Structures are given as C-alpha cells and as structure tokens.
Amino acid sequence: MANTTHLYLQSTRKSPISTLTSYDPSTREAIGTVAITTSEQIPALITSSRKAQQSWAALSLTQRQQIVIQAYQHLASVQDQLAKLISQEMGKDYQRATYEAGGTIQNAAYFTQEIAEALSSKTVDRGTELQYRPLGVVAVISPWNYPLAMANNLIMPALMAGNSVVLKPSEETPLVAELFVNTLNQIFPENVLQLAQGDKHTGQALVSSDINMIAFTGSMATGKHIMANAAPGLKRLVMELGGNDPMIVMASANIDAAVQFAVASSFENAGQMCTSTERIYVDASIADEFEGKVVALASRYKVGPWHQTQVNIGPIVNQQQHHNIVAQLQDATLKGARLLLGSDDYSLPYIQPTVITGITPDMLLEQVETFAPVVAISRFESIDQAITRANDSPYGLGAVVFGGQDANAVAEQLEAGMVAVNQGVGGGNAPWVGAKQSGFGFHGTAAGHRQFAQVRVISK
Ligand code: NAD
C-alpha cells in the first residue's frame, strides 16, 4: 500500500513547472508530456487569438460551417488514437472511450447544421432583424471525465458563432486535447482554435485575461472561483457545474427497472459522471427487495484497468479524488451507515463497486458530489420526506423518480434542471441544463447555441 501510494503521488501535478506529464491512472506510468502555457504567455496568445477572430468572423456562417465539417472529417483519421488516449489518461474502458470519440466526430455535421440554423439572422417584425454576432475570444475550460465530448460541446458553437477559442483542458487529460486541437488545426485557419495547457494557474490567468466569454464545465467550487475572477471584466459566462443527483424509488415502481437504472447510473464511468445517481431514496416497504437486487447486480461489475476485457469500472482518476471518496465512505460508516457490498480495502487506484445503506442527511455522502462507483441508499416512510431530502441540496443538475402514474406528480416537485420519470435525464432534443448551484447557461438546442453570440437588433 505504501509503495503504491508513493508511485501514485507522481500523478499530482504542481505548478509552476514547465511541462505537464500525463499518467495512466491504472498503471501510473507516464504516457507523455506537454508544455505548460504560463501566465506570462497568455496575453500574447490572446492577442493572436483576437487577430485571427477578425478574419474568421468575416467569413459567412455557411463558410465557417463548411470548414468546421471538413475539420471534423479530418478528425476521423485519429479517432482510434483519441479513444485510446481517453482511456489511457483518465481510465475509462476502451469501448466507452470509443463511443465518446466516435460520437464527437460522427455527430459533427448534424450539430453544425443545428447551430447554423440557430445563428442565422431572424426577421421578427417588419424591418426588424435579430442578428447573432460573435462575442470575440472565448475561453473553454473543460474537465477530465469526458475529456473530448465536454470540450467539444462548447468549442463547436463558439467557433460557429464566429468567435476564436482558447481551450484550457484538464491537467489530467492534456494529450487528448493536444491531439484533438492539433488535428483540427490542420484544417482551421491559424490561431482560430488554440490551446492553453496547464492546471488551475493557467486557467486563472486565462480567466483574468482580455477575453470576452468563459464557457466552463467542471466543479461547483471552481465555477465560483471563475465567476469571481470574471466579474471585474463582466465577462460572459456559461457554467456547467457538478451535480449530486437524487433518485426516488416509489412503492409503485417497477423494482427491476429501478434496480437496473440505479446500478448502471451509479457506476457509469466509475461513477465519474456529472449526472450519475448519487443518492437513492427508496420507499421502506420495498427497500429490502430493492437493496437485495441492487447488491446482486452490483456484485457482477468488475474493477480493473481500461485495457482488460470485461472490466466495466476503471480506476479513480487521481489520488486526491480517491482520498475524497474514502473520506466520504468512512464518514458514513462511522455515523452508522452499513456496507452491503464493497470493501474497506481502499488500495489505489480503485474503489470496489460499493452499495451502502442507512445514509442520513448529516453524512458527506448525502451532502456532496461523490464521483465514485457507489450506490448510496436511504429509506423513506413518506414521499414528502423523500422529496424534501432530494431537494435539500445546493446542487440541482438532474433528478430521477421511478414509480407508476403517481411518479409524475413527484417529478413536478423536484428542483433540478433536468428531471426524468422511469429513465435517465437528458432525453429528447432538449438542452443540457443545471439549476441552483449546478450552474447556469447550458449547451444544446438553439437557445444553448445562441449563448455564444451577441444578439444585435437592427431595425431599418
Ligand atoms: P475542476 O473544477 O476541478 O476542473 C475543471 C477545469 O477547471 C480544469 O481544466 C481545471 O484545470 C480548471 N480550473 C481549476 N481551477 C481553476 C480556476 N481557479 N480558474 C480557472 N480554471 C480552473 O473539475 P474536474 O475535476 O476536472 O471535473 C469534474 C467536475 O466537473 C465534477 O464536479 C462534474 O460534475 C463536473 N462536470 C459537469 C458537467 C455538466 O455538464 N454539468 C459535465 C462534466 C463534468
């Protein structure tokens, strides 16, 4: 254990250093290095980005769309490399990494069309036109859990709107970003899309620099720092922040369907998903059956490195995050929660599939985002109790209820940007949106795409 910890320490990246090394969290081997963009280098980078933006914005929307489609077609040549790097850098199993890379590339043509339609000028009344103008330079700051998809969701509408973009990817996944941006840049005009590599120091310098907008996906804590640092320049913000999503299982629920969802949603991406199920409130009258079936299903999951077949839970991304998870589990058991499945062997870098019951509001597992393969269960006696606990959180990203017809009325009372009945959130042609401190602004759909533009009303 001590030896493992020592090796794992290598994956904590401290600034200031001139290069950033990326490590495979499964093997703790170095995969590669990138040069860090220092705060001293940021002003020149923004100047070149602003210059490039002017010629980019001078192109028509259709011309930009054609270039973006061509660039994403070119990205297909490195699709397998991208998938492998996603797995290597953050530990996701290779099949899921392949979906992430494939989806990003294959959906590009569809999304550029949706964005183009959203950003086309609209006549609203006789002679009055709404135009969607570029904002200028947009900083996209992205997380590691879906390192390609999360960056892409924000980059594409920003570029299509005629902005230039500086991407600051997570320090956990710099190589995915490097390959993504370098490949696109074989097609894009110079400096329209640039990279700023590094940790929070690079991010802070970028936020404070002469940019016009910050499109951020990441934790609530970082979102608050960014908002404070963006305030002096009143920079435009889109904030896609963390979640602590509740799931309510009513007595009227199809228990097998609820069990399937509870386990799959808690364990997806090793639980490292913004809308993973974090807290489950189950009606006490069906709780024994529900828990028994959850344990049976959860025990079939296999933990291991991304390249091993049949592994469906990869490593935890870094030592700090592993430490946070162990602290939450120990806090819960100390306060009376019971482990139904799992182990107190918390050897790095894994967390075994865990099912824990008897969660109460004073436990960290209930209060904060866990980001781990943990099914955390509480029993309720009345549905009002369950709704109160589900809503008693500063987070408000997703919320799910499983039940019969009576579930619809419960869904109406849940405080989240995305609420779903008997299914996961985010279905349909709808924006991805958080409520409360899970953020503001959103991506997807015309309303989402238009956030990357300045509306100009012209009446002639
Ligand atoms: P994080 O907040 O630690 O880091 C995100 C990015 O912000 C990284 O690039 C990081 O270097 C940068 N950063 C950190 N401090 C900064 C600062 N002060 N100024 C500027 N940049 C700074 O998040 P993470 O651990 O990379 O990602 C996991 C979090 O992201 C979870 O909370 C998850 O729920 C959330 N997330 C949300 C969504 C969504 O759609 N709402 C999607 C994916 C992930």
Q: DSSP string spanning 93-154? A: -HHHHHHHHHHHHHTHHHHHHHHHHHHS-EEEETTEEEEEEE-SEEEEE--SSSTTHHHHHH
Which atom of ligand 1 lies nearest, measured to the CA of 317?
A: 25
**For residue 316, which of 325, 327, 328, 307 has the smallest C-alpha distance?**
325
- Is residue 15 within 8 A of residue 198, CB to CB? The reply is yes
- Around ligand 1, the residues with Cβ closer than 6 Å are 141-145, 150, 168-171, 199-200, 203-204, 207, 217-219, 222, 225-226, 240-243, 274, 369, 397, 432, 434, 439
Reply yes or no: is the peptide bond before residue 25 cis, omega within 30 of 0.
no
Residue 137: predicted pLDDT: 98
Q: How far apart are the CA of 197 and the centre of ligand 1, in A?
A: 14
> Is 274 designated active site?
yes
Q: CA-CA distance, 227 to 447, in Å (whole number)?
A: 21
Q: Which of 170, 224, 432 to mutate to test the pocket of ligand 1 (most atoms within 8 A of CB)?
A: 170
The Cα-based distances of 13 to 88, 174, 258 in angstroms read: 17, 12, 40
Q: How far apart are the CA of 406 and the centre of ligand 1, in A?
A: 37
Place of tokens 């002679």: 127
Q: How far apart are the CA of 372 and the centre of ligand 1, in A?
A: 16
Residue 105: predicted pLDDT: 96
Q: How far apart are the CA of 143 and the centre of ligand 1, in A?
A: 5
Which atom of ligand 1 lies nearest, measured to the CA of 171?
A: 11
Residue 404: predicted pLDDT: 98
Q: How far apart are the CA of 200 and the centre of ligand 1, in A?
A: 10
Which atom of ligand 1 lies nearest, measured to the CA of 207?
A: 20
Q: How far apart are the CA of 242 and the centre of ligand 1, in A?
A: 8
pTM, two decimals, is: 0.95
According to DSSP, the residues that pair with 374 across neighbouring strands are: 354
Q: CA-CA distance, 269 to 275, in Å (whole number)?
A: 11
* 10 φ/ψ angles, rounded to the nearest 5 degrees: -60, -20
Residue 125: predicted pLDDT: 86
Q: Quick: pLDDT tens for 362-390.
A: 999 999 999 999 999 999 999 999 999 99
Residue 17: predicted pLDDT: 55
**For residue 317, which of 202, 197, 180, 173 has the smallest C-alpha distance?**
173
Q: Quick: pLDDT tens for 23-55.
A: 999 999 999 999 999 999 999 999 999 999 999
The Cα-based distances of 231 to 149, 212, 213 in angstroms read: 28, 12, 11
**Within a 13 Å sphere around the CA of 306, how many CA atoms are in the beta-carbon half?**
26
- Is residue 426 within 8 A of residue 265, CB to CB? The reply is no
Which atom of ligand 1 lies nearest, measured to the CA of 242?
A: 34
Signed CA dihedral, 63, 66, 71, 72: sign only? positive
- Is residue 401 within 8 A of residue 411, CB to CB? The reply is yes
Residue 161: predicted pLDDT: 98
Residue 126: predicted pLDDT: 85
According to DSSP, the residues that pair with 376 across neighbouring strands are: 356
Place of tokens 């996209």: 140
Which atom of ligand 1 lies nearest, measured to the CA of 219?
A: 32
> Is 366 designated active site?
no
Q: Which of 200, 204, 208, 268 to mutate to test the pocket of ligand 1 (most atoms within 8 A of CB)?
A: 200
- The number of residues making up the chain comes to 460
Q: Which of 42, 148, 219 to mutate to test the pocket of ligand 1 (most atoms within 8 A of CB)?
A: 219
Residue 13: predicted pLDDT: 45
Query: What are the residue ranges in the chain where pLDDT is below 50?
Result: 1-16
Among the residues of 135-254, which ranges form H helices? 149-160, 174-184, 200-208, 220-230
